[in-house]
Amino acid sequence: MRISISPYRLQPRSALNSKTDAKSREGALLKVESSAGTGYADLFPWPELGDEPLAVHLESMTGFRPTRLVERSLALAEKDAKARSQKIRLGSSDWLKNNALVTDVSRVSKEDLKAWDARGFSTIKVKCGTDVAAEVSFLENVASSFRFRLRLDFNSGSSDFLEKFLKVFPESLDERIEYAEDPCPYEARRWNDLRRRWPVALDHELSKVNRGEEIAADVLILKPARQNAEELADWARQKGMAVALTSSMDHPVGVAHAVATAFELQKQSMAKILESGFLTLDCYDENAFAARFPVDGPWMAMPEGTGIGFDDLFEEAPWSVL
Ligand code: MG
């Protein structure tokens, strides 16, 4: 097996969540040549959310102990290689529906909301955790003029913040909350309390859960570019959780793998699958890969090409053998 890398930086247009600022983010595209053929994947760690930095993952590829993130990237590259060698496309030629994403409530105007409504969005995901008053008043404004369902993502913020948030959030709007994601650090009793008010979704806090136990959550967030989505969707179903597939706000190559997996799970998995969250490409300044995704309002399709697509862009990318 021969691995080449093409490091890149993504420049966020604004802060991406309550734990990161708007500094540029680094990752690497992988080109993996093996008996399966040549395949591509992304490697995009989130050190702020507990991942090792990129250098550690790259280093791990030269030894015998790849990190779990690298293992996942290599598995996806192999899947891409198999599809490319058969000249078929991964995923589907269909369209996948997604929520709209608000990473910063101060940057979304009434006109933006009107446009989303007109283009057919039914769900908005709002990153919460920095300013209770601003976030709650934004949500009240949304709910008073539009029919959107609301997904709140607290990114494992403090219990204190959540407490304050719950106090000011009007109960009359509780029914609009599809779920609250990682509302605070996982603690079964605390989460079960909250579930009396809102459905709760498990994302990064999955790492703190004992998978054999009963789970204090209603929805599992899956990021196929980082996790074995097939296996986890099956576990979620056994535990009575629905599944929402999302990007990890990663490079378009990671997003393409994740969208392909979402299509496959829709066809094959017995889990209940909710609307997806893959419209994160424009969180960053535009790049040539992102421009290849067909996007129409909430709808998104696979890029043209074989495997996950981007054939000519992969040809042109600067690669260096690891
Ligand atoms: Mg999340």
Average pLDDT over every residue of 87-116: 96
Distance 286 CA to ligand 1 centre (A): 23
- Provide φ and ψ at 74, rounded to 5°: -65, -40
Percent share of the chain, pLDDT over 90: 93
Classify residue 155 by its DSSP letter.
T
Scanning the structure block, which residue is given the tokens 């909301």? 113
Residues, CB within 5 angstroms of ligand 1 (ion): 153, 181, 203
Do residues 128 and 201 lie in contact, with contact meaning Cβ atoms separated by under 8 Å?
A: no
222: β partners = 245
Instruction: Determine the 3-state secondary structure of 229 from DSSP.
Output: helix
Residue 13 pLDDT grade (very low, low, confident, very high; cuts 50, 70, 90): confident
* Whole-number pLDDT of residue 141: 97
Distance 173 CA to ligand 1 centre (A): 21
pLDDT, tens digit (0-9, with 9 covering 90-100), for 255-271: 999 999 999 999 999 99
Distance 65 CA to ligand 1 centre (A): 28
Q: Distance between CA atoms of 94 and 217, rounded to whole angstroms? A: 30
149: β partners = 123
Average pLDDT over every residue of 98-111: 94
Segment among 47-51, 100-104, 240-244 with least mean pLDDT: 47-51
pLDDT, tens digit (0-9, with 9 covering 90-100), for 60-79: 998 889 999 999 999 999 99
Average pLDDT over every residue of 222-250: 96
Distance 250 CA to ligand 1 centre (A): 13
Q: Distance between CA atoms of 286 and 308, rounded to whole angstroms? A: 19
Residues carrying an active site annotation: 127, 223
pLDDT at 15 over 90: no
Distance 59 CA to ligand 1 centre (A): 27
Q: Distance between CA atoms of 1 and 8, rounded to whole angstroms? A: 23
Averaged confidence pLDDT in the chain? 95
Distance 52 CA to ligand 1 centre (A): 18
* Whole-number pLDDT of residue 14: 78
6: β partners = 29
Distance 313 CA to ligand 1 centre (A): 30
